[in-house]
Amino acid sequence: MHTKIYFNDKPLFLTDSITPEIEPYVHHDDAVLIDEFSPGGIKSMIHEMRLDKVHAGIYLHNNVEELKKAFWKKFILVKAAGGLVVNEANELLFIFRRGKWDLPKGKLDEGETLETCAVREIQEETGLQEVLLKKHLVTTWHTYDESGHHILKETHWYLLSASKAHPLTPQENEQITRLEWVAPDNLQQYISNTFPAIIDVLKAGGYPPAP
């Protein structure tokens, strides 16, 4: 098993084995592999992942949960939820925010469940009011810095359905400027300008990018 954390667009794999997904990174000169579980090793890996010359990291340890706990201590954890919304024509709903195509998502409010958060954020960001939550797809992690703190954002993604007949209204105060229903055959032009975690969500929903 493994957990993948994105540092910008760069994946860090916390893993107990070299899986087929990880194997292509092992022999890359721009990837870092550490197999010593220690505070120094964790600190070193986080430092390496922030270097421009490093494009992937692999931290190998026989207990991934133990490894995750050690990494999580280095960050402030922020939970969020969002969704892959599909209509009756099997089209996917994308939002355009800050120059990137994305999927609707947002931070968890106090006392809120992740499922409720996913539905609320979709309603707020897209204007859709009738949204049906179907199932959990995948959880993604990425890091960023905010006000001098190192943040680890944990986003829980769900599959939802909505009708194309319902009007769409972008939430402009969240810098969302466009909303588009996208047919699976036209995905490539959107995922060429999105985040790696969004591609992971699409794969989990059964919409892998074209080879």
**pLDDT tens digits for 80-100?**
999 999 999 999 999 999 999
Mean pLDDT of the chain: 95
List of residues 6+ apart from 192 with CB closer than 8 A: none
Residue 210 has pLDDT above 70, yes or no: no
Domains of the chain by residue range: 2-72, 77-204
Give the model's pLDDT for residue 211.
64
Are 22 and 32 in contact by the 8 Å Cβ rule? The answer is no
Give the model's pLDDT for residue 148.
83
**pLDDT tens digits for 57-66?**
999 999 999 9
Residue 21 is given by DSSP the state T
Residue 28 has pLDDT above 80, yes or no: yes
The C-alpha torsion from 33 through 36 and 39 to 43, rounded to 10°, is -10
User: Which overall architecture, per CATH, does domain 77-204 show?
Assistant: Alpha-Beta Complex (3.90)
Q: pTM for the whole thing?
A: 0.93
